[in-house]
Amino acid sequence: MINPDQRAAAFIPSAPPVVMDDVYTPDQIDGLLDAVRAGPPRRLLTAELFSSAEELMIATSGSVAEGVTLDQFLDPMFRGDLGQHGVSFHPGADAVLYNEKLLNWARRYRKTDYVCARQLHFNVASPMKCQDPGHYDSPSFRGLSHTNTPIWLLSVMANSRLFEEYKSKLVAVVTWFWRTSDQGGFTYWPDGADKAPQRIAAPLWNRGIVAENESMFHRGESIGTPDQWGVPGLTFDSVFEGDPDSASGWRMRSGDTVIGRFATEELRWLFHWTALTFTDYQDFKRHVDHLDDLTHERVIDTLLRDLRGQGIGIATPSDPLHDEEFKMTLLRNYAIGSPKIYPPEAPVYRAAA
């Protein structure tokens, strides 16, 4: 049986990541901020993606510790979409989502001519500690992605490595804007989680990386210094939005109570552009014509056969996506390890039970 650390060590991208400077033009940066401001209030990343501490921990550390709750991961990082499935949600995002330079970077990275813009989202945070020991991004498979499948199941599918032939060939260009301090960089493990990491140190402004983040452990580092961490009054219902009292300002709000106001440069911004690539025309047709898509039923049947083949007795659930006992059985049996080596100047702060 493969152990969690062996699984983590196998997460190596198909090509080395490439660091890029001056990713966007000033007009494109203004357009991105306009698109964020025009959108709805944005929720915390933790609240947006996870419904329990177990789901979050399996996606970030590969194990589930007893007694840990989501409250211990309450940090001021918010997330929002600016485009999905090749559709831009605001004119300000058009020049980035359909950016010819980024498309060509994706082509070179995957060594293919077949590429399309897929998604654009952002994360934004005020100074906060990093409790993430390193994670890989939620993968997509033919027929299944975060739009129709729980994150926990996508993680299990990736950890099991039973569905590699169905895995979407994505390329990300992740770009940061943060120059207020030298605390707030990016750590990544391109040679596997058991090897030494590489690092993009802060301050960084309009600096990005071209990478396959679904197959590489990585993490954002702590932002700012401990005396700056946290926002009093932050809850899982807090939101981030443009400040109506400032044409260029931003605010965090819990209900009707404003808990923080910020200038653009007081926040660390991350813009995450994703392209979907195809090996050739046949691969493209297989994907867009849904010739061999996965379904939830196929995935569950495959996982059940694999577990039973390992001698693990498990009943077939009647509602597998909502059966907590079944979910926890999968999470435990397909747990993945986390990196063991961290930059001394960027430690990880682990949530305590």
C-alpha to C-alpha distance for 137 and 185, rounded to whole angstroms? 17
More confident residue, 231 or 57: 231
User: In the predicted model, what is the mean pLDDT of residues 106-126?
Assistant: 97
Provide, rounded to the nearest whole percent, the portion of the chain with pLDDT above 90.
82
What is residue 55's predicted lDDT score, i.e. its pLDDT? 60
- Locus of tokens 């991961």: 73
C-alpha to C-alpha distance for 304 and 178, rounded to whole angstroms? 45
Is it true that the peptide bond before 203 is cis, omega within 30 degrees of 0? yes
C-alpha to C-alpha distance for 301 and 303, rounded to whole angstroms? 6
pLDDT tens-place string over residues 158-199: 999 999 999 999 999 999 999 999 999 999 999 999 999 999
C-alpha to C-alpha distance for 157 and 145, rounded to whole angstroms? 11
| Average pLDDT, rounded, for the chain | 92
Q: Categorize the per-residue pLDDT at 353 as very low, low, confident or very high, splitting at 50, 70 and 90.
A: very low
What is residue 50's predicted lDDT score, i.e. its pLDDT? 65
- Statement: residue 272 has pLDDT above 60: yes
pLDDT tens-place string over residues 293-328: 999 999 999 999 999 999 998 999 999 999 989 998
pLDDT tens-place string over residues 131-144: 889 999 989 999 99
- Locus of tokens 């915390």: 44
What is residue 348's predicted lDDT score, i.e. its pLDDT? 83
